[in-house]
Chains A and B, each alone.
Chain A
Amino acid sequence: MDIFLQQTVNALALGGTYALLALGLAVVFSIMGLINFAHGELMTIAGYVLMYCGIAGVSFVVAVPLALMASVIAAVLMERIAFRPVRNGSGATMLVTSFAVAMILQVLFQNLISTRSQPVLLPAMLSDSVHIAGMVIGVNKLAAIIATVVMLVFLDWFMKHQKTGIAMRAAAEDFAVARLMGIRANTVIAGAFALSGLLAGVAAVLWVSQRASVDPLMGFMPVLKAFIAAILGGLGSLRGAVAGGFLLGFIEIYLSAFLPPEMQEFREPIGLGIVVLVLLFRPNGLIPSATLKAEKV
């Protein structure tokens, strides 16, 4: 039972990080129908800021807000430079654009910073663990769970009570009508990117605090997981993204924890098999977006 509880805490921490990542993708998708595969590179940028802060001797408490800021700014710039010109293009055009942005950034990181991964100095405290009710919980796990809760509460408040947030929800429901009501498209889309940048930044801090290094290609794996989580939850639905993130975290941890040793090698295919199974029963995801116009024939 103890082990089960302990693994559940592990699953919560991992699921929370996935939820933040999936939310970052969902915020943008819900408004402009773009799956931003360069989302991971926003994390890499935040990671490099943490690295340079460590080298410059800047305290971690200052480095984290700087990293978040960098990823927000990068997200807004990304929208302005790469995505605005193709905003009215087809979904495929935007998807390919996002791949191009990701690749260009990766090559820039490799050529301008380093091909090798660079160490990030982290406070020793993050490697510690605390004992709660007979369980050993790593500080970074605890931080992941707390950060997820804080971000979800913040997002809920932002979407319900902030003008930009309400405008974003309106735009997600029907952009054309929202514009007729006087909502500026540029503000809403830039706002969505800024929000996804913030989510990427928070996820990056959690991600980097586990791996202690940044490399030019580090963004790929998290964005892949986020993509799976967002599909699982229901593309374009924010609540769905959170649910999908947590479910994916639970699937991964429980399989890794309780699958018999001889089956462990097939952990990932089994995990993805479960995802497919869920989608068979709920083809639009766990909590589908109300406005997703998926056609069925």
Chain B
Amino acid sequence: MKKLLTLTAIGALLAAPSFADTLRIGAATAQTGGLAPYDAPVMEGIHIAIDEINAAGGIGGTTKIELIEKDVRSDAAQTSIAVQELVDTGVSALILPCDADPSLAAIGIVSSAEIPAISTCASSPTLPMIGGDYMFANFPGDNVQATVSAAWAQEQGHDTAYIIYSPDSQYTTMPLYFAEVFEKMGGTVLGQDTHSIGQQDFSAIATRIAALPEQPDVIMTSSYEPDFPSMLKALRSAGVTSQMIGSDGIDSPTTFSLGEAGEGVVFTTAGYAEEGSPLEAFNAKYKETTGKDSETVFNAVGYDLIKVIEAAVLAADGSTDPKALRDAIANLENVQGATSAITYKGTDGMPVRQVSLIRVKDAGREFLGSPSPDAALIPAPRMQ
């Protein structure tokens, strides 16, 4: 009898789809240092998604997710060390920091270990280009965001623009994409200024713009805190009234608490919690789990990342083999995340996702829409 039971059990195991017991994911993200403001909220979203999936029995009801976390302290060298350690523990997928530079520091290890790696929220379109087959991003690309905001500016009848960018990082050069699209659509770029990240004082730039013979209709920048509020306040107190356009880096509570100076600022980001939207549901879930309101869309972006991995495991018929997962991720279409539907199929690893336009109004969000950018206008990724 006992023998029969054993045989039946073995038979049942063989017949069942080959779902593994656990999927081991290694996260080498920045929990301290300069990238922590982005990676820390992403990790919160990741934990919410993993707890939700595991509570329901795992991916496909069988494969539980095991997360191994390492803090890379926003440091490129530490990222490659942490990734090597994670690879040695036999993870099936890797999560890398929210910036192209530390993510790329790990690329040698990722490629030779042939394990798919997803950056939490790096948005430089050059990341998967340089990173190769195993590197994926999880955020709308800089060039796509710039196309959406340039098209919006043109639609509003703004013909002249001024850009302020920082050559210090890939992300802060987004205004160069904006200028390219804006001019392609018939607008004029009146001039440009550069600053360094962490620059406290923008009064010299503000004074120069205020003294221009013709005031620009829009000023575009992808600078974020603390630079953006300083820049905006300097411009406004110098008497510059142009429409300010920013990007996802300023999707933060500070932007909504700037009072008069912040009103009317428009920026692109990864999603908007419309009534009945998945993002609204996620935010409710976030509040329920953590007891506080979600301050940033980066929480939801973390949730998206795990949904992508879940979809990949399902698409690979429950396999946790890294190579099978990579191929599955590269062919994913319309995975419903918290912020939007996500497609990797047909891209080089920079996902097609929704870009939302938000305007600051009465210290809150006004949703301007999620226009799909004209593919012909999207600039090619620019290597620095």
Q: Number of A residues whose C-beta is below 8 Å from B?
A: 48
In the bound complex, residues from chain A placing their C-beta under 8 Å from that of B210 are: 136
CA distance A257 to B257 in the complex (A): 29
- Known: A6-B207, A14-B203, A265-B167. Contact between A136 and B226, CB under 8 A? no
Closest 5 CB pairs of A and B: A138-B237, A256-B204, A10-B203, A115-B36, A211-B226
Which chain A residue has the least Cβ–Cβ distance from B261?
A: A127
Q: Does B34 contact A (CB under 8 A)?
A: yes
Which chain A residue has the least Cβ–Cβ distance from B253?
A: A119
Interface residues of A in 1-57 (CB under 8 A from B): 2-3, 6-7, 10, 13-14
- Which of B12-20, B79-87, B192-200 is the interface stretch? B192-200
In the bound complex, residues from chain A placing their C-beta under 8 Å from that of B204 are: 7, 10, 252-254, 256-257
Which chain B residue has the least Cβ–Cβ distance from A54?
A: B257
In the bound complex, residues from chain A placing their C-beta under 8 Å from that of B41 are: 115-116
Q: Does A268 contact B (CB under 8 A)?
A: yes
Interface positions of B (Cβ within 8 A of A): 31-34, 36-37, 40-41, 167, 191-194, 196, 198, 200-201, 203-205, 207-208, 210-211, 225-226, 229-230, 233-234, 236-239, 252-254, 256-261, 295-296
How distant is B362 from chain A, measured CB to nearest CB, in Å?
14
How distant is A214 from chain B, measured CB to nearest CB, in Å?
9
In the bound complex, residues from chain A placing their C-beta under 8 Å from that of B296 are: 116
In the bound complex, residues from chain B placing their C-beta under 8 Å from that of A116 are: 36-37, 40-41, 252, 295-296
Q: Judging by beta carbons under 8 Å apart, are B239 and A215 in contact?
A: no
How distant is A223 from chain B, measured CB to nearest CB, in Å?
12
How distant is A148 from chain B, measured CB to nearest CB, in Å?
14
Q: Does A213 contact B (CB under 8 A)?
A: yes
Q: Judging by beta carbons under 8 Å apart, are B167 and A213 in contact?
A: no
Q: Judging by beta carbons under 8 Å apart, are B201 and A121 in contact?
A: no
Q: Judging by beta carbons under 8 Å apart, are A212 and B257 in contact?
A: yes
Given A210-B229, A253-B203, 14 more pairs with CB closer than 8 A: A3-B207, A7-B204, A13-B203, A106-B32, A115-B40, A115-B41, A127-B261, A136-B210, A136-B237, A211-B225, A213-B229, A217-B34, A252-B204, A256-B204
SS class, residues of chain A in contact with chain B: helix
Which chain B residue has the least Cβ–Cβ distance from A14?
A: B201
Q: Judging by beta carbons under 8 Å apart, are A257 and B208 in contact?
A: yes
Q: Does A107 contact B (CB under 8 A)?
A: yes
Contact of A213 among B193, B198, B211, B225 (CB under 8 A): B225
Q: Does A83 contact B (CB under 8 A)?
A: no
Interface residues of A in 172-222 (CB under 8 A from B): 207, 210-213, 215-218, 221-222
Q: Judging by beta carbons under 8 Å apart, are B34 and A117 in contact?
A: no
Which chain A residue has the least Cβ–Cβ distance from B39?
A: A115
- Known: A14-B203, A253-B204. Contact between A138 and B234, CB under 8 A? yes
Q: Judging by beta carbons under 8 Å apart, are A129 and B238 in contact?
A: yes
Q: Does A124 contact B (CB under 8 A)?
A: yes
Q: Judging by beta carbons under 8 Å apart, are A127 and B238 in contact?
A: no
- Known: A10-B207, A136-B237, A136-B238. Contact between A107 and B32, CB under 8 A? yes
How distant is A141 from chain B, measured CB to nearest CB, in Å?
7
Q: Judging by beta carbons under 8 Å apart, are A222 and B200 in contact?
A: yes
Contact of A215 among B37, B201, B259, B295 (CB under 8 A): B37
CA distance A21 to B334 in the complex (A): 53
Q: Judging by beta carbons under 8 Å apart, are B237 and A129 in contact?
A: yes
Interface residues of A in 105-157 (CB under 8 A from B): 106-107, 110, 115-122, 124, 127-129, 136, 138-141
- Known: A7-B204, A115-B31. Contact between A127 and B233, CB under 8 A? yes
In the bound complex, residues from chain B placing their C-beta under 8 Å from that of A212 are: 226, 229-230, 233, 254, 257-258
Q: Does A85 contact B (CB under 8 A)?
A: no
Q: Judging by beta carbons under 8 Å apart, are A139 and B237 in contact?
A: yes
In the bound complex, residues from chain A placing their C-beta under 8 Å from that of B230 are: 210-212
CA distance A7 to B258 in the complex (A): 25
CA distance A211 to B230 in the complex (A): 5
Q: Judging by beta carbons under 8 Å apart, are A129 and B239 in contact?
A: yes
How distant is B337 from chain A, measured CB to nearest CB, in Å?
21
CA distance A261 to B164 in the complex (A): 12
- Known: A3-B207, A115-B36. Contact between A261 and B237, CB under 8 A? no
Q: Judging by beta carbons under 8 Å apart, are A127 and B260 in contact?
A: yes
In the bound complex, residues from chain A placing their C-beta under 8 Å from that of B257 are: 119-121, 212
- Residue of B210, B211, B254 with most partner-chain A CB within 10 A: B254
How distant is A72 from chain B, measured CB to nearest CB, in Å?
23
A157-175 contact mask (Cβ, 8 Å, vs B): 1 or 0: 0000000000000000000
Q: Does A264 contact B (CB under 8 A)?
A: yes
